Each structure stands twice: as C-alpha cells, then as structure tokens.
A and B are shown apart, each in its own frame.
Chain A
C-alpha cells in the first residue's frame, strides 16, 4: 500500500474486494447471522410456550417421531417397574404377618413356635423343650412354665416368659437378636446361653455363656451387661432408682442352675455383707468400678453396724479414686470414710491419701493441714516420716 497513490483502491481480504464492498458483505453476513439466531430464538420461545421450560429442552433435543418413540418406551418401562414393585410387595410379608407366621425362624421340624406351656408337675421339665431350625433351643426348666412367642422375623426373635423358668441356648453368629420379655426385665442376646425365671413378680436372669443385655427401669441407667457367671434378680418396685434395695445381683459360678430353681423357699431376700464384698472384689478385679461402688454402698446401707462397714467405706473411697472421679469428690469420699473408720490402719491410709490429693490439687495449705492432723493423731504412724518431711519438721 503506497501513500503516494491515494486514489488507488486498496485490495484487502481473500476475495480481492474493495474495502467498501468487503464491509458491505460483512454487514450482510452479520444480518444473516442475527436473522438465523432470531429464528432459533423464536422456535425456543414457542417450545417454552408449548412444553414449559424443561419440556422445551426435551423438545429441542428430539424430533417428533423420536419423541413419540421415547414416550412409548417410557410408558412400557414405567409399566414394567410397576409390575416388579407389585410382585415384590406381594411376595414380601408384612412385619405383623411375619411375627405370627414365624417367617424368620421355624422349629427344627419346620413347624411354627407359638407357646410352651408346662403345667403338669408330673411332666419332667426336660420334655418341655423346643429346638429351632438354626440350632437354638428353649427348655422349660421349671414346672408351670408359660412361654409365648411375640415375634419371629428375619432379624428378631421375641419371646415372653409369662411365668416359670426357661433355659435358652442361642446359636452364636446368627443374624437374629433374641429378646426375652420377663416382666420387669428384658433380656437381649445375640449368641449365648442363659436362664430366665419369672416367679411371683420377681424376674431373674443368669448367664451361663456369652453376654446378655438386661434392660429394666430398676437398673442403673436402665441397662446392665451381664457376662458368663453373672445374673440379676429384680423385684417389682415402685421406684426406678438404681440404688433401690429391690435390686440384687447374684454372681454364680458356671454350670450352676438358676438360683431360684434350686428352691424358692431357700433363696434369701437380701444377700449378706460377705456376698457384697465378693461382688465388689470381683468387680474391682475386672475394673468395673461402678458395680464395685454399688456393692460397697449396699453394704453401708444394709449393714451399717457390720464390723466391716468401715472397710466398705474406705474401699468405696478408693474405688471412686480409681474410677477417676474429680479429686474434690474423692476428697469428700475419704473425708466421709474418716467419719466411719475407727481402725488405725485405715485412718492413717485415709490421711495419707488426703495429703496426696491436696498436693495434686495444688492445695499446699490443705495438704499441710491433713499432714498435721495425721501426725497429731498418729505421731509414730506408718507415714509419720513422710508427713514430717512435708511439714519440714525434724
């Protein structure tokens, strides 16, 4: 392009057109493009009016014939899905039907379990037993035993012990949870062997093997976990307090029969203090501080004049310390124990622990006070040297 030839038209573009003509052609192309866009816009607006906002997208994607074919296929698919749902619903029994028909678990002979009723004392209790298809079994262990089936599903077996006693063996690894309702308590198991007795308002369970969960408003927190050799016996009580005197705990060795099946006349209403100390010792050995504390509290409540009551008070404070309760509560426990304890050995132990607790809480003056009190009472006691060292006495 030469600036010395202003009158020569500049040749631009691939077509060799003059600039004004090229610009005109570009304008026409733009108009055509805008017009084409308007046609598409108009068609989409028509589809929106006809099919709605979302239907218009569908209408744009398919031709009329394709839409008709898709509609037929959709109707056929919907009918097929409906048939499948109907068949599945018809074949699947409801929970109520399953409970009454024992659809989940049947007896070994294929029959349905509804009830076990042994009323004739002459009938040996061993004859009153049922074995289920998965190998689980329920045996009447007492005369006049009445057991009802409440639910049998693929996941649950619920039995109600109206009265008497049963021995239950549940196959381990099974998919079902067994629940035995026995008046004031409910036993939940997955795979274990245990005995349940319900007699005259009292309900008890003793575990032979495995673990069961016992639920009752009379239990602390409403639930109790029982392992092999453990049991619980509940009496009807108006109170749901966990420390009610009606709650008793029986620790039985394995292979023993259900406590109440030995002789209802011989079973004591309340266990002895020795029994509760044994319960506490066993619980402390396995680290069950809550059970140990309950047992010791039972001793203090039921046997306040027992010679071992002060030991129970001291051990209760130790259990609370081992349970990791706040130090202030532990201090209160040992202080309370001091009010009961007369034994010199136990008192010196209480004082020594109180000194250590005060130091751990950063209460140096409190620690010195306890140390001074201990030395005043027992100047030549077991801990006198250590106490003097803390006080700086010679």
Chain B
C-alpha cells in the first residue's frame, strides 16, 4: 500500500510539470492582480487564471473522479462557479487552492449523483481509469495492475472517504489542506482518511495479512 501511494504521488508531481505551451497568458501578473481584474469582469484575466490553474485542477479531478468523460464537465463547472463567486475570495494569491476546493466539491456532487444513478439502475458502466491516466507511461504492467486494483477499491468507498484519502495520500495534501478542500473539520477528515484506509485494507488484502516489505 505504501509503495503504491509513493508511486502515485510521484506521478502527481511528474504530471504537474507538464506545461501546455502557447496557452498561458502573461506570467508577470500575480494571481492577486488577475483576481482583481477578473472580479471586474475582464475576460483576459479570467483566461489567464484558467490556463494557469486548469492543469492542476484537471489532474486532481481526474484522480478523484476516475472517469475522464465527466472530468471536462466538472472542470467547466468548477471554473464557472469560481468566476461567478470570485468576490468571495478575499486573498487572490490563494486562487489556486480555492478553485481546487471548488473542484473537490463538484467532484463530491458528481460522485453522489453517480451513486444514486447506479442504485436506480441507470448507470451500470464500470468506472474508468482515473489514476492510470496520469501515471508515468513507463510504469510496469504489474504496477499498472496494482493501480487498477486500487482504483477499483476506491470506487467502492463512499465519496467523502474516497476524496479525503486521495487528497491526502495521492495528491499529497496536508490534513489541514485536505480539510479545507473537503469543507469539513480537521477531525472529520482524519476520520474519513482512517476509515478509507481500513476499507481499502479490507478490499485489497481480505485475508488481513499484509507485509509492506513484500
């Protein structure tokens, strides 16, 4: 389990370094300046903010959702909500983490709806790979298989547990940051993470025997 987590977080770091060329606007303006202009309705400022943070948000949403078909919708919903409620952001420099929090909230809503549709029998599709999309393409088949197993186990968690665990163990967020992103208290997010780990242990190692040195 620890090996997998290390692997996934390494992939997160690697994927975050991919920079789409030609799409970023002025890098001289800070997030604060851009937020100030975006609040006034300047589309260029909104454009710049979007392209500066969209990759990070997309990656996070992909890992959390696990299905690429919904990622674009969630990404768009996230930024629409962010720009619509931008006046609520007091510190422009925190735009990145703030929009990630909105994305997590959107993911939570999407997972809840997906669970409801599945219960009603309207969504019988198997969850698609989410973490696999952002993995290093040079990963071995064995690692890919392990990641696949982990992802399937994650789909069986409740959305709060799943989101908290991924943010903490895959995205590498601190507990405080995870609590902020999930809009819950620190104690609650700790509970979610512990519960998720227990469920994953049970799902991946049903015999109860796990040797991290294997």
Contacts and interface: CB of A to CB of B under 8 A. Distances in A.
Interface in B3-54: 18, 20-23, 41, 43, 46-47, 50-51, 54
B21 A41 contact: no
Contacts of B80: 41, 44-45, 48
Contacts of B161: none
Contacts of B201: none
Interface in B62-105: 72, 75-76, 79-80, 83-84
A24 B18 CA distance: 10
B144 interface: no
A49 B22 CA distance: 28
A26 to B, nearest CB: 8
B54 A37 contact: yes
A30 B55 contact: yes
Contacts of A48: 80, 84
Interface of B is mostly: helix
A42 B21 contact: no
Contacts of A34: 20, 23, 50-51, 54-55, 58
Nearest to B75: A37
Interface in A161-190: none
A33 B43 CA distance: 19
Interface string A13-47: 00000010000000100110111111011101100
A34 B23 CA distance: 9
A12 interface: yes
A50 interface: no
B119 interface: no
Given A27-B21, A45-B46, A53-B84, A33 B72 contact: yes
Counting from the closest, the 4 A-B pairs by CB-CB distance are A31-B20, A44-B80, A41-B79, A34-B54
Interface of B: 18, 20-23, 41, 43, 46-47, 50-51, 54-55, 58, 72, 75-76, 79-80, 83-84, 137
28 contacts: A12-B137, A27-B18, A27-B20, A27-B21, A30-B18, A30-B55, A31-B21, A34-B20, A34-B50, A34-B51, A34-B54, A34-B55, A36-B72, A37-B54, A37-B72, A37-B79, A38-B47, A38-B50, A38-B51, A41-B80, A41-B83, A42-B43, A45-B80, A45-B83, A45-B84, A48-B80, A48-B84, A53-B84
